[in-house]
Amino acid sequence: MRDGFETRETWPFECLRCLRVWEEEFVVRHFADDHGNQVEIWLSSGVAVQPPWSGTCCPGCGAYHVTSFPSGYLARHPELRPAPEVLPDLVPELGAASGPVLEEPKAPLSGMPSAGRLLVAVGVPVALFVGYELYRNLVAVAPAHH
């Protein structure tokens, strides 16, 4: 291998089983040999792994039914990020006068997880569009019988 360089890539994922959203960071080593063949080696925490699009497993439920978002997607959609966990030893005692007061993370607007709200927000307009197209092509265009 002659030429080579490294890049860092962050891939956002969503489990389609438990709707968990997370990001993983990879180091990608790109190489080219004397014949012009391109090779990529994907590393996660210094260990060679398969590329993110092949066989990613959910760290929450272990399912392999996982999808990925475009790079930088979660940075543009912070509502999909999981709320940070508040550690019990960091929360001040009631009545304590010193130390910062941590606010509890705000609950989602409804009982549905934020990823589920996103699926509904996209799915409802698509369902309406498909329904309209079916109506227009099957019912409205059909000739009237006399």
pLDDT, one tens digit per residue, over 96-118 is: 445 455 455 454 444 556 667 77
- Using CA of residue 70, residue 73, residue 74, residue 79, what is the dihedral sign? negative
Residue 12 in contact with residue 21, Cβ under 8 Å? yes
> How confident is the model at residue 3, as a pLDDT?
67
DSSP state of 138: I
| Residue 28: predicted pLDDT | 92
CA-CA-CA-CA dihedral for 42, 38, 8, 11, to nearest 10: -60
CB 17 within 8 Å of CB 65 = yes
In sign, the C-alpha dihedral spanning 82, 45, 75, 71 is negative
Q: Are 61 and 15 in contact (CB under 8 A)?
A: yes
For residue 36, is it left (φ>0), alpha (ψ between -120 and 50) or beta? left
Its pTM stands at 0.48
Q: Residue 142: beta bridge partners?
A: none
Is residue 27 within 8 Å of residue 11, measured between CB atoms?
A: no
Q: Which residues of the chain have pLDDT under 70?
A: 1-3, 72, 74-115, 140-146
Is the Cβ–Cβ distance between 139 and 43 less than 8 Å?
no
